[in-house]
Amino acid sequence: MADAMWALIGVVVGAGITGLVNWIQQSRQFAHDREMFTLKNKSADMVKAILAEMLNHRRYVERSFEALKKSVGGYSDEAIRQFLHEIGARRTERDDGAEEWWYLISRQQERVPRARPGRTEELPLFEGDEQRSEVQVERQAPEDQRD
């Protein structure tokens, strides 16, 4: 009877040690997997941040795909397009259809007033600066020449 009891104690202690070792190994594996996931997604998050910063630039509502691609090298065109969609960008083309341009959906209203046939108008550099069209400049005459 005493031998059976020692055998039972040996089995329980062995199972406990085996369980503890497995738990330690699994927790280390989980920590490693989590770190690898974070590193993998950190790169993608950095690329998204760069693209969002470029598309949120004050003076440039739209950016060409080539300009965006140059700033985030190391990714395929399709991966960059996927990142652009994830940050809320929309694709558009110029009148000739030869070049791909992107803008943020949240800046749609800023794009509409600037659309003029043949060229894209530049935003003022500082708030309060006004862009005057060529027609407005021609109509204004110096005060000493007015009647």
- Euclidean distance between CA atoms 62 and 121, whole angstroms: 11
Q: What is the pLDDT along the chain (147 residues), one digit of tens a residue?
A: 778 888 889 899 999 999 999 999 999 999 999 998 888 788 888 999 999 999 988 888 888 899 999 988 888 999 999 999 999 999 988 777 778 899 998 888 887 654 444 444 455 545 555 544 444 444 444 454 444
Measure Cα distances from 145 to 16, 132, 140, 141 in Å. Answer: 100, 21, 10, 7
The backbone torsions φ and ψ at residue 122, rounded to the nearest 5 degrees and listed phi first, read: -90, 145
Q: Angle 2-55/77-86 helices, nearest 10 degrees?
A: 90
Which domains are seen in the chain, by residue range? 43-106 (1.10.10.10)
| pTM recorded for the entire structure | 0.53
